[in-house]
Structures are given as C-alpha cells and as structure tokens.
Structure 1
Amino acid sequence: MAGDYLVDPKPPPNLNIPESTCTVQVSIIDSTSRFELNIAPFLQPDIKGKTKLTCPAFSFLIEHASGKKILFDLGVRKDFENLAPHIVEMAKKGGWIVNTVKNVSEIISENGTEPKDIDAIIWSHLHWDHTGDPSTFPNSTDLIVGPGFKEAFIPAYPKNKDSPLLEHDWEGRNLREVYFEEEGNGLKIGRFNAMDFFGDGSFYLLDSPGHAIGHMCGLARTTSSPPTFVLMGGDACHHGGEFRPTEYLPLPTSISPSPVPKLHKGFCPGALFQQVQPDKKADVPFYHIAEGFAHDKKVATWSIHGVEEFDAADNVLVAIAHDDTLLDVLDFYPNTLNHWREKDLSNKVRWTFLRDFAEAVEEQE
C-alpha cells in the first residue's frame, strides 16, 4: 500500500465500534437545498480559484427493523424567508444565495413515507441549513437535540427576538436533549462519546462538539458481516479538503478519475495537488477553520480529527452535510446506501473534492 501514496500512511486508530448483527436501512436525501456563500469566513487559507462554497444540504432517513423511522437533519426550509428574523437579516447582509425547491416532508411523501410515519427528527445542530421545517411533521414526531441545547437556545423567537431559532419548531412536541454521559453509559466510538440510539448497535449518536453547541454526528451500521457503516457528519466538516488528506490517508500517487480532465484525462498524478496544498504536504488537509466561525475552534478542530479517523477506516463511508461531490456518486433516496461498499462508492468519491483546485493546479503547470 505504501507505494500507492506520496508518503507512507500511518495505521489509523481503532474506532472500537461494538459488535452487533443489527443494522438499519439508510437513505441519503437530497433535500433540494442549494446555497452559495463566500468561503473565506468559513475556511482558510485562500486557494486560487475556490472562492465560494456551493452547497447542498443532505438529510438522512434511518429505518429500524422495529419499523421506527427517524430523520437526521432536514436541510433548509422551503420558505427560507420565514426563518427567525435574525437569520433572514444575516442572509441579506451576507449576500447569501439560498434556494430550496421542496421540504424533506414533501420528498418522503412523494416516495411513500408520510410525515406521520417519522418517529423522530434529529438535528445535528441548531443552524438554519439543518433544521428545515419541523412544523410539516405532526406533533407525534419527537425533536432530538444535542447536549446544552435547551439552556442555550430556549426561549427562542418570538420570545427571544435575537434567537436564530423558532419556538414554533418544537411547540407541542417532545423536545428531547441527549445527555451522553448519562445515556451512553461511558460508551466511546473513536474519540467521541456515543449513545446507542435503538439499544441494539444499529445506530449511534456521537457527541462531536465545537462547530456549534450540541453538535452531533450519526453512525449507522449498514451491513453486519462484514460490518460497514455510514457516518453522517453534519457540520463537523464543510469541505473534503478540511479532513483530507491525512497521515492515515495521504494523497495517492495517482488519482482516477482525474479531478483535472482538461490537463490529465483518465487519471492524474497526486503530486500536482501536493504542490497546491498550502503546506506542500501530502498528508495534511488543505483547509482549516477560519477564525470566528466555529463556536469553539479548538474543540471543533479536535472533532475534525475524529472525522479523519473514521474516514481512514475502509468500512466507513463519511457523508458530511454539504459535500457537493456526493451528488454525482451516491445512490440517493428512495434508493438506499446500504450496499455502498459493494459499489466502491467511498473510493469513487474520496478525492473528487480536488476538482475545486483545478485552477490552482493549472497555474502550477
């Protein structure tokens, strides 16, 4: 394997995922949300040619053997202008371009799953591009949030005029906050405190703090023998270059399909991208978090390193919420992701983000 990479990879740490024969059915939903933001306030350093984050916002449908169905994140609500005034004003000042064609509730209804069939919505965190519109689900659908949420964000708008959230999103429904230390019984998966959601090892919530108060990832077991998993990364990272390459997964010597087909058809040398990596290193990510973006930059960076460890495991598919490179590769709802490994989807998508640096590579040539 060493000859396949520009530098020798280090063995990744053991994730210590408990054994189980129980799985869930996982579908990734293209929520139809699309938005465009300047990249500089979010990720640094500047890399020539990459000035915008052009993002989808993914949701996940998790179906348990018991018949229970849950959604992990909801993308952006269709009527974006009806978000809390604080967020709408921020979007205007920032020049955000935001468009959503359908709410997730509409998408699942069109494919045979009614909103009343959803037992719970899990917000990876509180931000507007993940919370969607819970009011399109009945009050029988619980809303599950991460640690610290209630203390930090209740009351919400209109009781708190400056809140980024709407009180209406949880009024009349069970708002459940996850307490990892109590509910997880000391369970750790990778570096993260974890909670076995269904109690059978099929789906875990991971305490992945830093980006926002209460941020969580989801880890779904997609097959049992051999065990495979999908990590729903939320906003632990925002771009592939934020958690790739790493010391466990350096740039390969040859990349196929070529991220720069104008220069190299079929495949291209990984060394081209090492030259545009800000530190000229093959085992360090291209980006780091910009100052002032994360709730706690140091802790958020720690969580990113945790995602890197999952990404280095060949039986884990990492799907962060805004990774536009997934759109052309993954099987989207109503299809499922459970056979992602058989289809080699992780390898097909892993280095696709490098296409964002085509202009920088062309300048080097």
Structure 2
Amino acid sequence: MAQSPPDLKIPSSTSTVNIRIIDTTSRISGIPLKHFVSPAITGHTHLTAIPAFSFLIEHPSNRKLLFDLGVRKDKENFAPKILKSLKDGHWDVEVKQGVREQLEAHGVRGKDVEGIIWSHYHWDHTGDPSTFDSHTALIVGPGFKAAFTPGYPANEESPIRESDYENRELREVSFDKGLKIGRFDAFDYFGDGSFYLLDSPGHAIGHMCGLARVTVNTFIVMGGDACHHAGEFRPSQYIPVPSSISPNPLSLGSSTPCPGSLFEDLYRDGDGKKPFYTIAKGEGGIAHDADEAERTIGKVIEADARDEVLVVIAHDATLLDVVDFFPKYANDFKEKGWVEKGRWLFLKDFAGATASPTAKLLLPVEWFFSTGNKKGPVQSYRTS
C-alpha cells in the first residue's frame, strides 16, 4: 500500500505568478547515461534529443524573471573548457533560437526581465545572459562566486564567461532565514509566497530549484538538474508502479493500458516503490556530491507525490507532447491533467528491457497493431 505523501508545509498565500514553460529549441544527444544514473537498463544508454527548458515567471506587479536559458545559440563562444568537453564527448547540440528572440517574437520585451536565475552553472542551462540588458541581474546559488569567478578569459579554466555577468549585478542567494518548503531550504523571492527558490545541492555547486504558486493551491517545481530522468524519482513509496498504466507509455494513443507487471524485472525493491535509478557514483559519475544529490532527489520525490504539484525537470523529453509551451501559460496544468498524463511516459525508455518473450505475452494484442507501433516494441522505441 502506498504511503500518504508528506505535507510540504508551503506557507499559505493568495499571491500567485504566471508561468510559461519555454522550449528553448535546444536539443542534446549522445551523452551517456552512465555518467548520471545507475544501474544500466537494457536499451536505455544515452540521453537522446533531450530539450532544455526555461521558465518565464511573471508577477502581478509586472516584474519578470527567467529561470534558466538553455544552451547559448552561438555555441562557438562557449568557454574553451566547455568546447573541449563537447568535442571530446562527441555530443550533438542543436539550438535554433535564443530565449530573448523567443520572448520578443511573442511581445515580451527582453528589457523587462529583472533577473535571470541560473539553476546552476552548466552550459546547457546558462544560455547567453549578455543578450539581455545590463539592468537584468544574474541570480545564482550559494558558493557560486567563490567557485566560478572570475570567468573566462580571466580564468582560462572557468566553465563560464566573464561576459555572462560583467556590467550587471551578480547576486548570490542566501538560504539563511530558516524558511522550509518540505525539506528544502527556501527563499521567498517576491516576499509574498508566490515564488520560492529552493536550495538543492548535489548535482553542482549552487544548484537551485524553483517553486511557483500558480493558483492558491497548485504549484510548479522547476527542477533544473536535480534529476536527469524521471526514473530517478519515480516510482516511490508514495506513487508505486500501478498495475495498469494509462496512458500507455509503450503504445501512445492506444486505448489499452499497459500492464505494470512488464517492469517488475527492473524494480530495485521487489514491489515497485523505489525509483528505477539512483545517482551514478564513483569514477565517471558527474555529480559534485552524489550523496547530497540523492538527498535532494528524496525531497523532489516528496513534492512529486502530490497531484497539486507539477514537477518539470530541465531535460524531460516526455513532457514535449504533454505540456503547453510559451507563449501559452502553464497555470492550468491541473485542469488539463498534465501530472497524470506525463507521470509514467518515461517508461517508454525501458521498452528494450521489457521485450523478452515473457514480457510480450503480457502485452495486449492491440499493442502490436496500434498506430505507430507496426514495427514492434523494440524497433519503435529503442533509444540507442
């Protein structure tokens, strides 16, 4: 039996913000999953064509923030350390449009953005802040300045550029007021309970998540890289794998649910109440502090367990066909059922691990003949 999710104890408020999720047009392929998660699952070995989401946060006072910027459009201008990593890793990175370009194409003036929040310093989140006006602050997490400034070229080994923050305020958030959201240390950005920054260390120095109140009782978590795949925080003791999964992640559009039993061989605990993945540790793992990253994921799990909370991690490709993107708003996610529609779609990445003869016997006949799946389970959905 599933446990009841814990009370996040979010302070009550009638103040809300409008949130628009921006598909930054970034697509990243070729990054081995072994650097991020464990154990290896058959057929799911790389991150392929993953997006990098940004968020436009609009306060009723007309103040505007951006949370993350995706990948910069002029990739040749990454700091040399990043260019070398991309070349050595043979990663494929595509970007069609900068965030400011998208904003202004839909009537949102870039000069009205008061601050850009970096969830953390990694190249697929930082974009190019220099495309924004000098009065736009760059807002970063604890420890950032000591670890990463000065940027390149003053420090040839820095992963960021001086141009990211020069001639603008570089503001480092402090979580020293004792405010908690769930088990996260929190900072009330506007001071009215409408938008919080959440201290979420582990993946990187200074990593932060965001929590936006979009109605009095519904919230959106901007997860950054607290997780890289939904299998890191699902299933859980609060949301175990159901016996019948709908929509069917292995046959999108099918009216026949997917049997949860197909994934039993992948359970880490025998009853489908622990996430499929843990953080990769040891040689090859990229987390700054893997143990701390696991603690952060535990806090994400508690938020994700609540139907009034939509968790959006930065690279969740399964959400591309679920949520509405900028210029549309995301405030009505609960009415549109995005939590339920998106919760188990990540299981399609495990199709290669469920394609044994035994597993096939458990699939409904309709699955083999449904539109878009005429080639069979492995060929249609294998990611690498």
TM-score, reference length from structure 2: 0.90
Query: 1: distance between equivalents of 2:286 and 2:224?
Result: 15
SS in 1 for 2:266: coil
Tell me which of 94, 98, 102 is aligned to 1:103. Answer: 98
Query: 1: distance between equivalents of 2:25 and 2:256?
Result: 31
Q: Structure 1, unaligned stretches of length 5 or more?
A: 1-7
Structure 1 letter corresponding to 2:34: A
1:266 aligns with 2:256: yes
Cα RMSD of the aligned pairs, angstroms, is 1.2
Query: 1: distance between equivalents of 2:103 and 2:110?
Result: 8
How far is 1:279 from its partner? Answer: 4.6
Q: Which moved more, 1:232-241 or 1:287-296?
A: 287-296
Give the match for residue 311 of structure 2: 318
How far is 1:79 from its partner? Answer: 1.2
Give the match for residue 163 of structure 1: 158
How far is 1:278 from its partner? Answer: 4.6
Give the match for residue 92 of structure 1: 87
Structure 2 letter corresponding to 1:100: V
Query: 2: distance between equivalents of 1:91 and 1:45?
Result: 24
Structure 2 letter corresponding to 1:166: R
1:60 aligns with 2:55: yes
User: Is contact 2:268–2:274 with CA below 8 Å preserved after alignment?
Assistant: no
Percent identity, please.
58
Instruction: String of CA shifts for 1:300-321, please: whole Å, max 9, x gaps.
Output: 0000000000000111000000
Instruction: String of CA shifts for 1:198-225, please: whole Å, max 9, x gaps.
Output: 000000000011110010000000101x
Give the match for residue 185 of structure 2: 193
Tell me which of 329, 338, 353 is aligned to 1:336. Answer: 329
Structure 2 letter corresponding to 1:314: D
Tell me which of 116, 132, 137 is aligned to 1:142. Answer: 137
The within-5 A match list for 1:241-252 is 241-252=231-242
How far is 1:51 from its partner? Answer: 1.3
SS in 1 for 2:272: coil
Query: 1: distance between equivalents of 2:65 and 2:88?
Result: 35
Query: 2: distance between equivalents of 1:107 and 1:65?
Result: 21
How far is 1:274 from its partner? Answer: 2.1
Give the match for residue 49 of structure 1: 43
How far is 1:132 from its partner? Answer: 0.2
The within-5 A match list for 1:228-307 is 228-261=218-251, 266-291=256-281, 292-307=285-300
TM-score, reference length from structure 1: 0.94
Give the match for residue 218 of structure 1: 210
How far is 1:134 from its partner? Answer: 0.4
1:75 aligns with 2:75: no
Instruction: String of CA shifts for 1:127-176, please: whole Å, max 9, x gaps.
Output: 00000000110101110000110111111110111111101100000110
Give the match for residue 352 of structure 1: 345
User: Is contact 1:142–1:175 with CA below 8 Å preserved after alignment?
Assistant: yes
SS in 1 for 2:215: strand
How far is 1:280 from its partner? Answer: 4.0
How far is 1:52 from its partner? Answer: 1.2
User: Is contact 2:236–2:275 with CA below 8 Å preserved after alignment?
Assistant: yes
Structure 1 letter corresponding to 2:153: P
Query: 2: distance between equivalents of 1:81 and 1:44?
Result: 32
User: Is contact 1:251–1:274 with CA below 8 Å preserved after alignment?
Assistant: no
How far is 1:261 from its partner? Answer: 2.1
Q: Which moved more, 1:188-197 or 1:278-287?
A: 278-287
Structure 1 letter corresponding to 2:99: V
